[in-house]
Amino acid sequence: MKVIVVSGGVISGLGKGITTSSLGRLLKARNIGVTIVKIDPYLNVDAGTMNPYQHGEVFVLDDGTEADLDLGNYERFLGQSLHGAHNLTTGKIYRAVIERERRGEYLGNTVQIIPHVTGEIKRTIREVALASGAEVVLVEVGGTVGDIESMPFLEALRELSYELGEGHMAFVHTTLVPFVGPVGEAKTKPTQHSVRELRAIGIRPNMIMARGSAPLAPDIKAKISLFCDVPPEAVISIPDQPVIYEVPLVLEAQGVGALLVKLLGLPEREPDYTAWKEFLSTYRSQRGHLEVGIVGKYTDLHDAYLSHIEALHHVQGRLGCTIDLQWYDAEDLPRNPVALGRLRRSDALVVPGGFGSRGVEGKMLAIELARSQKIPYLGVCYGFQMAAVEFARHELGIVGANTTEVDPHSPDPVVGLLEQQKAVSDLGGTMRLGAQKVELTPGSKVAGIYGREEIWERHRHRYEINPAYLERFAAHGLRVTGRAPDGRVEVLELADHPFFLGVQYHPEFLSRPEAPHPLYLALVRAALARQEVAPPVAATPARA
């Protein structure tokens, strides 16, 4: 078992997740089996109950785990699906320890952080490593060195490195090198301090990843090397990149792959980046330009919609057209004519998932515009449910149509609570979650896009389309073209529209740089086709 630990210093938000994912990619490019574990030192059991404004999107895995968004980065960079055990939290560890204590498994001993909590952490990491069969396990420790919360995890990893012995574990420390003053002088002091912090807990980093807005000059690298006791070739500069998928190549160019292989005694092979480089060169090729509008209520924090952003990056890397994302705050939209005007000129619109009543009217306004102006539209989860409500209201004239999530007493509950949800009271981990089978209607648009009639997609919802309205929907052109094996509605598509598709599931979680998701590809292709015919912006104002 070989382990690479990635810790972080100075500040959070340094892109440790991208660094970790990129290290994984360097090994994968050498055909070395690799997997990644994320440690989140918070007390929540999982990310499911966390506000996207605090932690960004909740990323859903095949097994239904509601995970930290870094799991999405790992899956995208490695091109591998992970499961719940790959996201360790303090909540999960403590829960396991307390359950063991209740079962009497500690045989009368006093249960303590060391050795019981650290023991549970090491056991879990070993188990994941074994189950994955990977040669190398990357462990990213969330938070910043020095935080009280991350102490037990770093201690456990220190113990693990002692247990595994020389040459089995490497420590990579990510820090910030700020550029300050009128001439933008690079400052190494924060890095020195955070390395000192790490050494105080008994961990000596083998490599330092210095994040910053610009590349580090050789003398700055030398200074960090001297003060932090790391060879100069192991001080790596990661300046900000226009797109995250550049990072593996930035690391490779500084010899990180070869260094890791040497540190861990792995076989050195010529890395293969053929597909990765092809993706990047297409991504930069600027074959056309289009604007995709995203309408949601967390638009101030783009991380809340990270997987949608990445899915569209993947399309750019396949089609080569520059995709410019425009963000629309759903709550503000109905009273903002300027935003509305711009939205009308979008080449495509996405209404992503969401919860609660705030912003739903704005979402429906955007959907109505997409429907009436024939702007290609992809509605995901709440964006799919809202499309049904909008259609019922404005096309079928059912004025009181709603989801019971917004109006529990709606006379026309077009969207209602799933039967199995009616007795559920806990919020954590209780939605309809994870990969579920969807059967697509032969001959439908959506089946044509996938090129298949059976798909598996990831879900996260409590509400569903009410079948009582489906006949009326179909009579007006909105047809069900995908269902779960138990009959529940998964896909709605509109006839007589270049692309108007709503899906109950979350396609964004399955898109990968080397395998863009077919729905996002089809959305952008429809937008490009519409640009070619270039209809002028319609003169009829949208309902506002």
Quickly count: other Cβ atoms within 10 Å of residue 105's Cβ. 12
Task: Extract the tokens encoding 373.
Answer: 């102006």
| 162 DSSP 8-state letter | H
> Per CB under 6 A, does 382 bind ligand GLN?
yes
Where do the H-state alpha helices sit in 373-511? 382-394, 445-450, 470-475
- Alpha-carbon gap, residue 519 to 501, rounded angstroms: 9
Integer CA distances (angstroms), 221 to 188, 205, 211, 228, 236, in order? 9, 15, 12, 10, 8
Which of 228, 381, 461, 493 is labelled catalytic? 381
Residues forming a β-bridge with 67: 59
Task: Extract the tokens encoding 374.
Answer: 């024939």
Q: Total binding residues for ligand GLN by CB under 6 A?
A: 11
In order, the DSSP letters of 239-301 are E--SSGGGHHHHHHHTTHHHHHHHHTTPPP-----HHHHHHHHHHTS---EEEEEEEES-TTS
> Per CB under 6 A, does 460 bind ligand GLN?
yes
**Among residue numbers 523 through 542, which ones bind ligand GLN (CB under 6 A)?**
none
Rule CB under 6 A: choose which of 304, 351, 381, 519 binds ligand GLN: 381
Nearest residue (CB) to ligand GLN, 57 versus 120: 57
Angle between helices 16-29 and 256-263 (to 10 degrees): 80
> Per CB under 6 A, does 503 bind ligand GLN?
no
Integer CA distances (angstroms), 116 to 94, 105, 152, 281, 355, in order? 10, 11, 10, 50, 39
Nearest residue (CB) to ligand GLN, 58 versus 333: 58
Clarify whether 381 is annotated catalytic: yes
Minimum distance, C-beta of residue 493 to ligand GLN, in the bound complex (Å):
18
**Binding letters toward ligand GLN, positions 324-363, x by CB under 6 A:** -----------------------------xxx--------
Minimum distance, C-beta of residue 264 to ligand GLN, in the bound complex (Å):
40
Minimum distance, C-beta of residue 403 to ligand GLN, in the bound complex (Å):
7
Rule CB under 6 A: choose which of 463, 499, 505, 509 binds ligand GLN: 463
Element (H, E) at 185: strand 185-186
Do 164 and 3 form a contact (C-beta atoms < 8 A)?
yes
Nearest residue (CB) to ligand GLN, 227 versus 355: 355
Do 416 and 392 form a contact (C-beta atoms < 8 A)?
no
Nearest residue (CB) to ligand GLN, 143 versus 383: 383
Rule CB under 6 A: choose which of 405, 457, 490, 508 binds ligand GLN: 405
- Closest to 5 in 3D by CA, of 67, 16, 69: 16
Give the rounded distance of the alpha carbon of 152 from its chain centre: 26
Which of 155, 310, 405, 508 is labelled catalytic? 508
Which of 308, 313, 461, 506 is labelled catalytic? 506
Tell me the residue nearest to ligand GLN as measured from the CB.
353
Contact window for ligand GLN (CB under 6 A) among 76-84, 150-158, 380-388, 394-402: 380-388
What is the residue type of 353?
G
**Burial grade of 243 (CB within 10 A; 0-12, 13-18, 19 or more):** middle
Clarify whether 135 is annotated catalytic: no
> Per CB under 6 A, does 518 bind ligand GLN?
no
Do 491 and 504 form a contact (C-beta atoms < 8 A)?
yes
- Alpha-carbon gap, residue 464 to 373, rounded angstroms: 27
Minimum distance, C-beta of residue 457 to ligand GLN, in the bound complex (Å):
12
Minimum distance, C-beta of residue 389 to ligand GLN, in the bound complex (Å):
12
What are the backbone dihedrals phi and psi of residue 330, each rounded to the nearest 5 degrees, phi first?
-60, -30
**Binding letters toward ligand GLN, positions 136-175, x by CB under 6 A:** ----------------------------------------
**Among residue numbers 385 through 404, which ones bind ligand GLN (CB under 6 A)?**
385
Clarify whether 508 is annotated catalytic: yes
Minimum distance, C-beta of residue 489 to ligand GLN, in the bound complex (Å):
12
Minimum distance, C-beta of residue 87 to ligand GLN, in the bound complex (Å):
19
> Per CB under 6 A, does 434 bind ligand GLN?
no
> Per CB under 6 A, does 462 bind ligand GLN?
yes
> Per CB under 6 A, does 15 bind ligand GLN?
no
> Per CB under 6 A, does 461 bind ligand GLN?
yes
Give the residue numbers annotated as catalytic, written as ranges.
Answer: 381, 506, 508
Binding site for ligand GLN (CB under 6 A): 353-355, 381-382, 385, 405, 460-463
